[in-house]
Structure 1
């Protein structure tokens, strides 16, 4: 049997890391910051040594998880930013796509919740760059759409209200095991009906 090629080794590495990060997201939803590498190895059905080979501690693992979630989030909302329609319509589409992504990918929900909590569970300033990137790549584009769409007194405040609503709805959905029951369109319509009424 011939040895694996460099490409095959890389494919295995990527597959293993994705497997570990999926497991880490599931464990984080159960245990929060109390998760340990051993918990992740059990959930991923991998040996402790295999997980430790990739991640020496949980903060390295969570850092990778959250950076990957940021990239996934940006990709998910991109169609709203580049699509047709008014700025307000784009803001609704952005919010809808983000809520859908939260329900499909626990890591995206964890990212939003962690940013909202200002990374207070994490030591030092390890995640300050991630926080700044989220602000630049996710938060500010929504703020700009709201500013252009309805020109409110504080578009940042409305954007925070939207993010808070999406986090809260997703948390209820996850913690009450209602994975297939979320009415994404109904939730977004309700949020934006309230915004239009208040600002109209």
Structure 2
């Protein structure tokens, strides 16, 4: 049997990392910050030593999980704010897409909930930079879009209301395992019902 090539090793590494990240997100939803590397290895059906090879502690693992989630929000959701000029209310499209991603990708939900909680479950200042990057890459562009589209004395308060509602709806459905029953469009319509657009 010939030794694996560099490309094969990289493919295996990426597959293992994906297994570990997916398992970590699932375990976090079950146990929160109490999760341990052993829990993740069991969920991923990998040996403890294999997971430990990639992550020496749960905080390193969670940090990677949340940074990766931020990158996915940036690549898959943020284009809704910059996209088609024919879309009258980009803030609505953005919210709908973000809620869909929360339901499909537990790591994105965990990121939004952690930001909403100001990372208070996590020790030290480990997530200060991630919080700041979320503000610059996601929150502020959303606030700026709200300022353009919505009649609000405080676009920050409106953004906070929308993010809070989004996290709350997603949490209810995730923790009660009702994802298939969730009507994303209806929920987003309800969120925006009391918000007046500038065109009205």
TM-score by length of 1: 0.95
Q: Deviations over 1:113-133 (max 9, x none)?
A: 001100111111111010001
Look up the SS of the partner of 1:119 in the other structure.
Answer: coil
Is 2:192 aligned against 1:192? yes
Q: Deviations over 1:72-94 (max 9, x none)?
A: 11122133122224786100000
CA distance in 1, matches of 2:137, 2:86: 20
Tell me which protein shows more helix as a share of its residues.
1
- Equivalent in the alignment of 2:183: 183
Which 5+ residue runs of structure 1 have no aligned equivalent?
none
Q: Deviations over 1:118-152 (max 9, x none)?
A: 01111111110100010011111110110011242
Residues 69-148 of structure 1: matches in 2 within 5 Å?
A: 69-85=69-85, 89-148=89-148
- Equivalent in the alignment of 2:170: 170
Look up the SS of the partner of 1:180 in the other structure.
Answer: helix
RMSD across aligned C-alpha pairs, in angstroms? 1.7
- CA 1:130/1:109 → structure 2, altered by over 3 Å: closer, same or farther? same
Q: Deviations over 1:147-184 (max 9, x none)?
A: 01124210000001000000000000011110211110
CA distance in 1, matches of 2:61, 2:77: 25
Which 5+ residue runs of structure 2 have no aligned equivalent?
none
Contact 1:96 1:188 in 2 (8 A): yes
TM-score by length of 2: 0.95
